[in-house]
Amino acid sequence: MGSGLTLDSAIAAVDRALRSVLAPAQATRPAPAGATDEPLSEADRHSSAALMRVNHSGELAAQALYHGQALFARSAATRAMLLEAARSESDHLAWCESRLKELAARPSLLNPLWYAASFAIGAAAAVLGDRASLGFVAETERQVEGHLDAHLERLPAGDTRSRAILRAMRAEEIAHGARAAAAGGAPLPLPVRVLMRQTARVMTGSAYWV
């Protein structure tokens, strides 16, 4: 079965990219509500903002991965699954963006780079076939789960709102990975998994500060 790449699908991919990078994120669901935050010290606010900036960049990158994979997916079922997951990531992106505004902080200035690089990685995974692409989803979400666990530990104790958002995101990322594995995702070789971790570290380290 062919990849389904057509002029219309390419135009749709460009439209999704422009909306993701340039337009304010729009959620289809309200953000998870934590208990009323205790007043954050200036140091805690900066710490929370830096962590949520990393998560915002991560959600943008996740959207880009799914968009790149969907564009070159072999089957309609795989494409639909990837685009559905991307819509969920769009909610996560909007939740993180809203929280950044509440913390008087901005997203990463490098977000266009993260989107472009992640889209290319997702497209490359999809070209290898749907089983490899779905395996990439499963491994990505497994690594994201660990990343979110670390951030939940690092958030200031009083920042219950950010914590509620990250917990909801974590549950949905786990579900995405499980669904991809159940759909036939192939386990990735160890060198690929290591490279993915190293690439993620570059992004998260940069987004924390820039």
Decide if pLDDT at 9 tops 70. Answer: no
Residue 29 maps to a domain? no
Domain membership of residue 28 (yes or no) is: no
- Proportion of the chain above pLDDT 90, given as a percent: 56
Res 89: pLDDT:
86
Task: Indicate whether 174 belongs to any domain.
Answer: yes
Q: What's at 164, amino acid-wise?
A: A
CA distance 45 to 49: 6
Read off the pLDDT of each residue in 34-56 and give the average, rounded to a whole number. 87
- The answer to whether residue 59 is domain-embedded is yes
**pLDDT per residue as tens digits for the range 83-98:** 888 888 889 999 999 9
Residue 177 belongs to a domain: yes
Residue 196: pLDDT over 80: yes
Instruction: Examine residue 88 and state whether it is found in any structural domain, yes or no.
Output: yes
Q: State residue 24's pLDDT score.
A: 67
Residue 34 forms part of a structural domain: no
- Number of domains the chain contains: 1
Structural domain range at position 141: 7-21+44-209
Predicted pLDDT of residue 1: 41
Mean of the pLDDT values across residues 7-19?
65
User: What span, in angstroms and rounded, lies between the C-alpha atoms of 99 and 92?
Assistant: 11
How many whole angstroms separate alpha carbon 199 and alpha carbon 145?
16
Write the CATH number for 180. 1.20.1260.10
Is 204 contained in some domain?
yes
Task: List pLDDT tens digits, range 96-120.
Answer: 999 999 999 999 999 999 989 889 9
